[in-house]
A and B are shown apart, each in its own frame.
Chain A
Amino acid sequence: MTRGDALVIMFAALLAGWSFTEFWGVQGPGATEVRIVSGNEEFARLPLARDTRIDVPGPAGITRVEIADGAARCARSPGSAGICQRAGWLRETGDMAVSLPNRVLIEILGEGEKQFDSINH
């Protein structure tokens, strides 16, 4: 066996080992993604790690979603009450903002034990 062979086998073993942790292991804790639903369809699924802005069209106009510093928020949305914007920055798993007039739902996905299975409000 040459040194090159050893190197190849080591890399192959590393790759196999990594695949175990990646596909069999538990997901890392914490919020990781934001999911945006428009109507009944998933509109986008974006990582919280990358700062961006996205405009989501709906029946009442455009809902703007902003991602920055590992959190997402509803920056602008039709609807005079501003319920969507008032949810503020969403950063924990399960956090969400909804615009009912525009039928847009913004929610944070990720692993992590939640204290409550559901919230009555």
Chain B
Amino acid sequence: MSRSGWLMLLPIALLLSACERPEIHTQRILAFGTLVEVSIYSADAELARTATEAVRQDLERMHRAWHPWEPGALGRTNEQLATQNEFSVDPSILPLLELGQALERRSDGLFNPAMGDLIALWGFHGDDRPDDPPPADAQIRQWLERAPSMAHIELDGLRARATRPGLRLDLGGFAKGYGVDRAMQRLRDMGIEHAIINAGGDLRAIGQPGNRPWRIGIRHPDGEEIMASLELRGDESVYTSGDYERYFVYDGIRYHHILDPRTGQPAREARSVTVLHHDGAEADAAATALFVAGPGRFAEIAAGLGIRKAMLLDPQGNMHMTPDMAERVRFEAEPAPAVRILELPR
């Protein structure tokens, strides 16, 4: 057989592979400081591979730009906010600032992306938090006296200025949600119609794999067990915030990373919150705000953020959820938790 013969065989060989029915190509990558799982339903394995690589590069670029402590666009913004002088905002940061301000307002300040200093005080800004003691009360009190928030950033077109000291942006999961939204847009631009991007607790799905919906499991905060599941069709995001994502133990007490801007301490009224929503950035901010809100203000905060489907697992093991969420969620673990439906205010 000649070389041209072998080369002519390749298209036939590829055709043979392409004749196979489409399947889900799942790849796991490390990006955005976390584990990201990209699942693409397609007959084209090569496209799935290149698209995942494109997503990885996009996420890494965004992660660098939006890291609060590294010399990227957000790091520079933070340096300029600290001077309290007026400056021009980096165009890649501006939409995040505006969205952050709006979401903070609508969540009555429970979602606060200006807590960079508080997060650093607790040591949750690095990749690895040793089991050192929590910050001293005096340090937290000092932060609470300043109580910096997005409201203390004056925005005038591209010009910005901090009106308070100690204001450091840490967009946290909210930037990740925004990044996942952008990465999904990248997949669409590459002609992919059915996919999931799952960056830790931030998941967005489009399309469906064949003639069934995407099946999503939601892990119990205590371990590997799947406590509930959701079926997704079309374009939806599932965001879960939990006390198990980042924490340290000191003197027998567990301190997790979701901090309440009102007390400066880890929020104690929830174990995990799951939000089902179309927009990833909004869902992410909502998951954080609802976690801090706890069952008491759950319905009020959800309504303010325009979230119709959300649920909260409280430390006693009860599940609080909106009526629309109750229609969608299925419990997988036995016994199913006690469910309390929280009607949203009109």
Binding site for B on A (CB under 8 A): 37, 39-40, 60, 78-81, 96, 98, 100-101, 103, 105, 107, 115-121
Partner of B217 from the list A39, A103, A118 (CB cut-off 8 Å) is A118
Asked if A120 and B34 make an inter-chain contact with CB atoms under 8 angstroms apart, the answer reads no
Asked if A121 and B219 make an inter-chain contact with CB atoms under 8 angstroms apart, the answer reads yes
Q: 16 additional contacts, CB 8 Å, given A96-B35, A117-B216, A118-B203?
A: A40-B30, A79-B127, A81-B248, A98-B35, A101-B128, A115-B217, A116-B226, A116-B229, A118-B216, A118-B217, A119-B226, A120-B198, A120-B203, A120-B217, A120-B240, A121-B240
Partner of A81 from the list B129, B205, B229, B274 (CB cut-off 8 Å) is B129
Q: Main secondary structure on chain A at its contact with chain B?
A: loop
A116 partner residues in chain B, CB cutoff 8 A: 215-217, 226, 229
B129 partner residues in chain A, CB cutoff 8 A: 80-81
Q: How far is the CB of B27 from chain A (nearest CB, A)?
A: 10
State the CA gap A98–B127 with chains docked (Å).
12
Asked if B34 and A100 make an inter-chain contact with CB atoms under 8 angstroms apart, the answer reads yes
A-B complex: 7 closest residue pairs judged by Cβ atoms: A116-B217, A121-B219, A101-B128, A80-B130, A119-B217, A118-B198, A120-B240
Q: How far is the CB of A31 from chain B (nearest CB, A)?
A: 14
A103 partner residues in chain B, CB cutoff 8 A: 30
Within 8 A of A (CB), among B276-293: none
A120 partner residues in chain B, CB cutoff 8 A: 198, 201, 203, 216-219, 238-240, 274
State the CA gap A57–B35 with chains docked (Å).
18
- By the criterion of a CB under 8 Å from any partner CB, how many residues of chain B are at the interface? 37
Asked if B240 and A115 make an inter-chain contact with CB atoms under 8 angstroms apart, the answer reads no
Query: Closest residue of chain B to A23, judged by CB?
Result: B16
Q: How far is the CB of A17 from chain B (nearest CB, A)?
A: 18
State the CA gap A55–B274 with chains docked (Å).
37
Instruction: How many A-B residue pairs have C-beta atoms within 8 angstroms? Tell me.
Output: 84
Is B24's beta carbon under 8 Å from chain A?
Answer: yes
State the CA gap A60–B128 with chains docked (Å).
10
Asked if B242 and A121 make an inter-chain contact with CB atoms under 8 angstroms apart, the answer reads yes
Partner of B30 from the list A80, A100, A118 (CB cut-off 8 Å) is A100
Is B172's beta carbon under 8 Å from chain A?
Answer: no
Q: Main secondary structure on chain B at its contact with chain A?
A: strand
Asked if A117 and B24 make an inter-chain contact with CB atoms under 8 angstroms apart, the answer reads yes
Residue-wise, chain B 43-76 has the 8 Å CB interface mask toward A (1 for contact) of 0000000000000100000000000000000000
Is B29's beta carbon under 8 Å from chain A?
Answer: yes
State the CA gap A37–B52 with chains docked (Å).
15
25 pairs across A/B with beta carbons < 8 Å?
A37-B29, A37-B30, A39-B30, A78-B128, A81-B129, A81-B131, A96-B35, A100-B30, A100-B34, A101-B128, A105-B35, A107-B28, A115-B217, A116-B216, A117-B215, A118-B39, A118-B203, A118-B205, A118-B214, A118-B217, A119-B217, A120-B198, A120-B216, A121-B200, A121-B218
B37 partner residues in chain A, CB cutoff 8 A: 118
Residue-wise, chain B 228-263 has the 8 Å CB interface mask toward A (1 for contact) of 010000000011101000011000000000000000
Is B33's beta carbon under 8 Å from chain A?
Answer: yes
A118 partner residues in chain B, CB cutoff 8 A: 37, 39, 196, 198, 203, 205, 214, 216-217
Q: How far is the CB of B193 from chain A (nearest CB, A)?
A: 15
Asked if B216 and A105 make an inter-chain contact with CB atoms under 8 angstroms apart, the answer reads no
State the CA gap A39–B24 with chains docked (Å).
24
Q: How far is the CB of B64 from chain A (nearest CB, A)?
A: 14
State the CA gap A101–B161 with chains docked (Å).
35
B28 partner residues in chain A, CB cutoff 8 A: 37, 96, 105, 107
State the CA gap A99–B331 with chains docked (Å).
30
Asked if B201 and A121 make an inter-chain contact with CB atoms under 8 angstroms apart, the answer reads yes
Asked if A100 and B198 make an inter-chain contact with CB atoms under 8 angstroms apart, the answer reads no
Is B148's beta carbon under 8 Å from chain A?
Answer: no
A115 partner residues in chain B, CB cutoff 8 A: 215, 217, 226
Is B295's beta carbon under 8 Å from chain A?
Answer: no
A40 partner residues in chain B, CB cutoff 8 A: 29-30, 56
Question: Of B35, B131, B226, which is in contact with the most chain A CB atoms at under 10 Å from its CB?
Answer: B35
Within 8 A of A (CB), among B129-144: 129-131
Query: Closest residue of chain A to B274, judged by CB?
Result: A120
State the CA gap A120–B229 with chains docked (Å).
9
State the CA gap A120–B311 with chains docked (Å).
14
Query: Closest residue of chain A to B217, judged by CB?
Result: A116
